[in-house]
Amino acid sequence: MKRALIIGISGQDGTYLTKFLLSKGYEVHGTSRDADLSNFSGLKKLNIYDKVSLHSMSLIDFRSVMQTILQVEPTEIYNLSGQTSVGLSFLQPVETLESISIGTLNILEVIRFHKLQTKFYNACSSECFGDTDGKPANEETPFRPRSPYAVAKAAAFWQLSNYREAYNLFACSGILFNHESPLRPKRFVTKKIIETACRISKGSNEKLKLGNISIKRDWGWAPEYVEAMFKILQNSKPDDFVIATGKSITLEEFIQKTFEYFNLNYKDYLEYDNSLIRPTDLSNSLGDPSKAKKILNWHPKYFVDDVVRMMIEDELSKNN
């Protein structure tokens, strides 16, 4: 039986990846900073909480990382941990850099030092590309990070690339563009939009307060993207892949599609809030998943209209 260690199992991607790997017959282990205090609401929502083994581990503590990996003896490691919010990274730049960059380095060092044959997947981000100016970014597109989060992800990407080349590790990065689901935390703008629109549809007189709504993003469906992570580690050789839909829309269009579900005009409920504007932001982000389609036979089945609908349906079902 294959054994997977998912570092950051409590997040959106960790939860969906757990469900997917369990369906493949994997023994799944997962980490959280304090497994006794974490509520693992996502795992419970998907009814898989009792099917995994949970461990407390600090990604920036080398000894903690080493002890956990040696105890679990995983055949595959998926690193989905670290500070995950671009906006929050401007307020917590040091924690962001440490949790992502040093955390990834600690995993690589354990694998190298103990000469493990473990396959390693690292979660990179489309934020590393910066603004793509409407051109789809692929694996050869240069990184131009514009946030502390993106800088940290870029550093982790190049650390992994160096270790793969220098020490012949089976280590891969998935450069994932935006991917959403009902498990998104409330601080993410897509979740905020969906929840607010649902409350308004039921009679709430609140306003949807947002900053820059002209940004364009390539939005996909998270449960599909974790399948890509799995496929990346099943490839015959270690490599890096862009995972995206290849289509992008503005945040304003996302808002419009959400309110149209309820036959509402979003302009009647939208309110601009300058305090929500980031110091720097990407005006246009678009991915080219051609390599993943050709080599991994992965391609998206769901696009942004599907994402909006499925997130709304899940939100409405909570009160039924």
Q: pLDDT tens for residues 155-165?
A: 999 999 999 99
pLDDT score, position 318: 83
The β-bridge relationship of strands 249-250 and 216-217 is: antiparallel
When the pLDDT of each residue in the chain is averaged and rounded to a whole number, the result is 94
The pLDDT of residue 274 is 79
The active-site residue out of 16, 78, 149, 261 is 149
In this predicted structure, the answer to whether residue 234 has a pLDDT above a threshold of 60 is yes
Q: Which of 76, 127, 180, 224 is catalytic?
A: 127
What span, in angstroms and rounded, lies between the C-alpha atoms of 289 and 298?
Answer: 8
- pLDDT at residue 320 above 70? no
Q: Is 76 a catalytic residue?
A: no
Q: What is the predicted pLDDT for the residue at 84?
A: 74
What percent of the chain has a predicted confidence (pLDDT) above 90? 85
Q: What are phi and psi of 65, to 5 degrees?
A: -65, -45
**12 and 183 in contact (C-beta within 8 Å)?**
yes
Q: Which CATH superfamily is domain 3-179+221-243 in?
A: NAD(P)-binding Rossmann-like Domain (3.40.50.720)
* Active-site position among 125, 173, 248, 285: 125
Interhelix angle 251-260/189-201, nearest 10 degrees: 30
The two three-digit tokens of residue 64, written as one number: 């903690």
- For the chain, how far is it from start to end, CA to CA, in angstroms? 39
pLDDT band with cut points at 50, 70 and 90 for residue 280: low
| CATH class of the domain at 185-217+248-285+303-317 | alpha beta
In the chain, where does the domain assigned CATH 3.90.25.10 lie? 185-217+248-285+303-317
CATH 3.40.50.720 domain locations along the chain: 3-179+221-243
Whether the pLDDT of residue 319 is over 70: the answer is: no
Confidence class for position 317, pLDDT limits 50, 70, 90: very high
DSSP line for the chain: --EEEEETTTSHHHHHHHHHHHHTT-EEEEEETTTTT---HHHHHTT-GGGSEEEE--TT-HHHHHHHHHHH--SEEEE--S---HHHHTT-HHHHHIIIIIHHHHHHHHHHHTT---EEEEEEEGGGG---TTSPB-TTSPP---SHHHHHHHHHHHHHHHHHHHH---EEEEEE--EE-TTS-TTSHHHHHHHHHHHHHTT----EEES----EE--EEHHHHHHHHHHHHHSSS---EEE--S--EEHHHHHHHHHHTTT--GGGTEEE-GGG--SS--SB--B--HHIIIII----S--HHHHHHHHHHHHHHTT-
d(CA 16, CA 43) in angstroms, rounded, equals 8
Measured CA to CA, the distance from residue 267 to residue 107 in angstroms comes to 47
What mean pLDDT is predicted for residues 99-110?
Answer: 96
* pLDDT above 80: residue 186: yes
Is residue 165 annotated as part of the catalytic site, yes or no? Answer: no
- Catalytic, 140? Answer no
Q: Tell me how far apart the alpha carbons of residues 264 and 87 are, in angstroms, rounded to a whole number.
A: 29
